[in-house]
Amino acid sequence: MMRKAMIGIVTSLLGVPASAQPVTIAALGDSLTQGYGLAVEDGFVAQLQFWADAQGVEVTLINAGVSGDTTAGGLSRAAWTLTPDVDAMIVTLGGNDLLRGIDPDVSRANLMGVLKAAKAAGVEVLLIGMKAPGNYGPDYKARFDAIYPELAAEFGTLYLDDFFTGFGEAVNDPASLRPLMQSDGIHPNPKGVKEIVVGVGPKVLELVEIAVD
């Protein structure tokens, strides 16, 4: 918001319409963001760009996803991801923390570091949450699941509770989920990505509006 406000002042002084400046969003994440196992055009960021273009939204999406990244990896990359041209950021991290059983307090601290970096840079954020499986026990699950809504409230970010929200009830039905996933059962296939984008897209439109204001 701060960056766009400054751009708006400069462009108005130059007689250039502010709408000539599209919003640039960096998608910081892991393999789900990066597009593991998919052709570039079938990945999440590319499909989200296609979707936004079809909505007539002036936005440029940057793929800052790294396969295998934990929240610690995301934190280590946050500063150089937040280049001066980035107006907003989508943060989708934590899946690999779950796979490794990392202490939720560590994951929380790392995500807090990412959000602090974004705040310091004047960059708006859409934080996308996830839920821990039950195999680590109820205490671990409760602590992990609480990270995302609590941080979103603390930092005043936009929040979406689940990257896979576009799957609807299919997430609870293995038979319905299978056609949307790759053979590993972890990463979406092109059809699944399209459903994910339908779920995430409206929140991204909100992010664009906030970044422009």
Other CB atoms closer than 10 Å to residue 14's CB: what's the count? 7
Q: What's the pLDDT at 6? A: 46
For 187-201, how does the pLDDT look when each residue is reduced to its tens digit (9 = 90+)?
A: 999 999 999 999 999
Q: What's the pLDDT at 2? A: 46
Active-site residue, selected from the candidate residues 31, 87, 97, 107 = 31
Q: How confident is the model at residue 172 (pLDDT cuts 50, 70, 90)?
A: confident
How far is it, in rounded angstroms, from Cα 71 to Cα 114? Answer: 9
DSSP letter, residue 90: E
Query: Known catalytic residue: 76?
Result: no
Active-site residue, selected from the candidate residues 30, 69, 107, 187 = 187
For 43-86, how does the pLDDT look when each residue is reduced to its tens digit (9 = 90+)?
A: 999 999 999 999 999 999 999 999 999 999 999 999 999 999 99
**Going from the N-terminus, what domains does the chain have, and what CATH number goes with each?**
21-212 (3.40.50.1110)
pTM: 0.89
